[in-house]
Amino acid sequence: MAPFLQAYPRAGPLRRVGLGGPVGFFFASIGFSSAVPVARVWQAVAQEAHCNPACPSFALQALRLHHFYYGLGLILPSIITLAFTGRQRVRWDASLILGIGLGLFSDEAALLLVGVPYGSPLSFLILTFLGICLAFGAIHSAFRDGTREFHVLDQADILTASSILLAMSGILYLDRPLQAIAETAGLVSWTSALVLFGLYGKRHFLRVWSRPRCEQPRCRPKCLGYHECRFPRDHHP
């Protein structure tokens, strides 16, 4: 079995499980590690720690959305996508969104679920624990499956993922009270995200949704996606 595939034996078509191998875990890790600083900077600029120590009533203040709820809104569709899709690049994208959602969700988990202050040690402990788990998952999957999956990544994949992270960082432009540093950082992030997505996003998503095909006949029945082939362990293309 190829190093970067996990399949159920005798189950017919190949199915990828988990976050999609080392690249999936890596994308989830960078999504998580990018979302947490953005959320913390947002709170620092806004000069509010929300309920301290009392939490808002879900009935009365449900529309006053914390980024906890936005994170939850990203986690659910990402998990559904990972559960049902078999396309590797779709799984990588879903893993990136899942990492962002986990970062936003866990940043206020202690505040809203336990009722402790936003800057409490428990809040940082939760973030540290999840960050270590994702980093360990990336390292473990790389040792277990090898790093060949990283060679499938190309410029379009990497820069499209970067544009998504920059678009998330650009949300700082909407923070209030508006500060010059946050405004500049938000505008630069959004502008960079638009440029990168315009140049490389189309190529990435065309390969995500195109029909799987391979150029080499001997690997054609085992295609993963656009120009992605599963080679035997002893084959070095």
Query: What pLDDT digit, counting tens, does each position of 75-132 carry?
Result: 999 999 998 888 888 889 999 999 999 999 999 898 888 888 888 899 999 999 999 9
What is the model's pLDDT at position 17?
Answer: 53
pLDDT tens figures, 156-175? 899 999 999 999 988 877 76
**Band of the pLDDT at 14, cuts 50, 70, 90?**
very low
What is the model's pLDDT at position 27?
Answer: 94
What is the model's pLDDT at position 32?
Answer: 96
pLDDT tens figures, 15-66? 455 566 889 999 999 999 999 999 888 887 765 444 444 444 443 344 356 8
> Which tokens in the block code for residue 221?
């029945």
Dmax (CA) for the chain in angstroms is 64
Exposed/middle/buried for residue 49 (C-beta within 10 Å: 0-12, 13-18, 19+):
middle
Average pLDDT, the chain: 76
Domains in the chain: boundaries: 21-229
- Indicate whether 145 pLDDT > 80: yes
**Residues contacting residue 103 through CB under 8 Å, at least 6 positions apart:** 31, 32, 33, 34, 35, 36, 39, 71, 127
Sheet strands (E) in the chain: 223-225, 228-229
What is the model's pLDDT at position 106?
Answer: 93
Residue 8 CA: distances (Å) to CA of 14, 50, 62, 85, 144: 7, 46, 42, 15, 16
